[in-house]
């Protein structure tokens, strides 16, 4: 959530930066409600001060046995009490609308983010490795999965519907190997604290992370329990320190978590997004950091590098891309995507989005730290990144490491988990 004082003091600048996201955002209603709220608060404070002064006067009058004067003043105070009650009701309505409008505003893009209304205007920062060259027409992961009997989409559809996965045999082993390898790597090599959180969260958690109220229609909801299915562990990890004041000596805090993720993915998608490319359910290892404000962009760079480590270990060609302003997530101020090469489609697909949210989520979740015992609490900065999502990573392994006989070489980093060097 944006700082209301920042909006109040610099409305035109905030509006200009928000509009670089490609949305026709106006702050007029927010500013009007804020002004009304402050006027009412000021008036109510005056009335309460007047009431307090009158209470003292009533006591004096009664002590002096001036009962009639005291009664007249009591009647006047009754009218003031009614006015205060009426103003409090109006104030409650104003604050409800104001908070709802503030909760729907996205974060401000960072100055380094390319300003564009076209999602393709991303800035390529670097590449690793080269695109594989084949002496044969490369098969898609769907074809390979069927031939190797490691993916079974028809049975998945029978069980749950379209866009759900079913891994079998060595496919199931490869999927779990990816989860174990990525989690262990981040804990042992990059010093993240492992977390195994609930797969569901309450409304307060989803609000703090920025998912509610704006994106309520994009998540699965269990109405009887008032719980939401996790679309990304970012939401769960954001709330590890909700309503807490973190010790400065502990910062930065680095967490990683495995969860299954569930997304509605409403809409229709083309042939190129069948199979594992776009799913209602997938697995992911998430990286998350709580940092001091002045360190968050350095920590973002290191978070991206930590996610890149996995792709380097798996020897998969990828590129890192800085997203333009129109393609930023609601809570993000800067996002760098890692995109793997998919040979059958001759294109890149994102497998990780690494973002700095600055204090946007911390304000919503009241997540703060104190630099010293006598210091005023400050909002932390939160950062998140996929480290990585397994579904498209699974696709990249099959397609980039496929052989002429439709077998697939298993990356060395995963061979101990599968006890084999080849899927065949």
Predicted confidence at residue 253, as pLDDT, reads 98
Place of tokens 């002004």: 35
CB 6 within 8 A of CB 14: yes
Tokens encoding 208? 């703090």
What does pTM read for this prediction?
A: 0.93
Predicted confidence at residue 267, as pLDDT, reads 64
| Cβ contacts of 381 within 8 Å, gap of 6 or more | 290, 291, 292, 293, 295, 296, 299, 356, 357, 358, 359, 362
CATH superfamily of 123-423: Bira Bifunctional Protein; Domain 2 (3.30.930.10)
**Cα–Cα distance between 387 and 36 in angstroms, integer?**
46
DSSP alpha helix (H) spans, 64-139: 67-104
Average pLDDT, the chain: 96
DSSP strands (E only) in 203-322:
221-222, 227-229, 245-247, 253-262, 281-291, 318-322
DSSP strands (E only) in 161-280:
193-195, 200-202, 221-222, 227-229, 245-247, 253-262
The half-sphere exposure of 330 on its side-chain side, counting CA atoms within 13 A, is 19
Give me the catalytic one of 140, 296, 344, 353: 353
Averaged pLDDT in 10-residue chunks for the chain of 424 residues: 97 97 96 97 93 85 82 86 94 97 97 97 97 96 98 97 96 98 98 98 97 93 97 98 97 98 80 90 98 98 98 98 98 98 97 98 98 94 97 98 98 97 97
**Cα Rg for the chain, rounded, in angstroms?**
28
Predicted confidence at residue 66, as pLDDT, reads 82
**Cα–Cα distance between 310 and 301 in angstroms, integer?**
15
**Cα–Cα distance between 209 and 204 in angstroms, integer?**
9
State the sign of the Cα–Cα–Cα–Cα dihedral 151, 260, 324, 271: positive
State the sign of the Cα–Cα–Cα–Cα dihedral 269, 275, 279, 280: positive
Tokens encoding 370? 């104190």
**Cα–Cα distance between 153 and 155 in angstroms, integer?**
6
392 is catalytic: yes
Predicted confidence at residue 62, as pLDDT, reads 81
Domain map of the chain by residue range?
Answer: 4-104, 123-423
Give me the catalytic one of 350, 378, 407, 422: 350
CATH of 4-104, one of 2.60.40.1180, 1.20.120.1200, 1.10.287.40, 3.40.718.10: 1.10.287.40
**Cα–Cα distance between 272 and 279 in angstroms, integer?**
13
Give me the catalytic one of 17, 21, 163, 263: 263
55 is catalytic: no
Predicted confidence at residue 59, as pLDDT, reads 83
Beta bridge partners of 284: 259, 389
363 is catalytic: no
Give me the catalytic one of 21, 363, 364, 392: 392
278 is catalytic: yes
Indicate the DSSP class of residue 406. Answer: S
CB 387 within 8 A of CB 307: yes
364 is catalytic: no
Beta bridge partners of 389: 284
Predicted confidence at residue 190, as pLDDT, reads 98
CB 359 within 8 A of CB 380: yes
| Peptide linkage before 99 cis (omega within 30 of 0) | no
Predicted confidence at residue 269, as pLDDT, reads 66
Give me the catalytic one of 278, 363, 364, 368: 278
């Amino acid at each position: 959530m944006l700082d209301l004082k920042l909006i109040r003091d610099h409305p035109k600048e905030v509006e200009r930066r928000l509009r670089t996201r490609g949305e026709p955002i106006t702050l007029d209603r927010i500013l009007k409600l804020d002004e009304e709220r402050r006027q009412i608060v000021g008036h109510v404070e005056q009335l309460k001060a007047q009431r307090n002064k009158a209470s003292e006067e009533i006591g004096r009058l009664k002590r002096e046995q001036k009962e009639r004067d005291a009664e007249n003043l009591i009647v006047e105070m009754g009218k003031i009490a009614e006015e205060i009650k009426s103003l409090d009701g109006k104030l409650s309505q104003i604050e409800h609308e104001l908070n709802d409008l503030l909760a729907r505003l996205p974060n401000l893009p960072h100055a380094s983010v390319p300003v564009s209304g076209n999602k393709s205007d991303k800035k390529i920062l670097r590449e690793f490795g080269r695109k594989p060259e084949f002496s044969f027409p490369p098969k898609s992961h769907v074809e390979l999965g069927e031939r190797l009997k490691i993916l079974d989409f028809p049975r998945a559809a029978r069980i749950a519907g379209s866009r759900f996965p079913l891994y079998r045999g060595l496919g199931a082993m490869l999927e779990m190997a990816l989860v174990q390898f990525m989690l262990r790597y981040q804990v042992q090599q990059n010093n993240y604290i492992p977390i195994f959180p609930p797969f569901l969260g309450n409304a307060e958690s989803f609000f703090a992370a920025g998912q509610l109220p704006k994106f309520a229609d994009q998540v699965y909801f269990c109405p009887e329990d008032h719980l939401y299915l996790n679309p990304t562990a970012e939401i769960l990890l954001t709330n590890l320190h909700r309503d807490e004041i973190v010790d400065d000596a502990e910062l930065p805090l680095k967490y990683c978590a495995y969860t299954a993720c569930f997304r509605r993915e409403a809409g229709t998608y083309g042939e190129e997004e069948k199979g594992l490319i776009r799913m209602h359910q997938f697995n992911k290892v998430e990286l998350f950091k709580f940092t001091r404000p002045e360190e968050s962009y350095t920590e973002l760079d290191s978070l991206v590098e930590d996610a890149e480590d996995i792709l380097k270990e798996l020897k998969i060609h990828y590129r890192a891309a800085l997203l333009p302003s129109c393609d930023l997530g609601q809570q993000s101020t800067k996002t760098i995507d890692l995109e793997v090469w998919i040979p059958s489609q001759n294109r890149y697909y994102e497998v990780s989005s690494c973002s700095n949210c600055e204090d946007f989520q911390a304000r919503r979740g009241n997540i703060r730290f104190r630099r010293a015992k006598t210091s005023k609490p400050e909002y932390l900065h939160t950062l998140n990144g996929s480290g990585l999502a397994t579904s498209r990573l699974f696709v990249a392994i099959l397609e980039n490491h496929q052989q002429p006989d439709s077998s697939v070489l298993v990356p060395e980093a995963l061979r101990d988990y599968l006890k084999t060097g080849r899927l065949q």
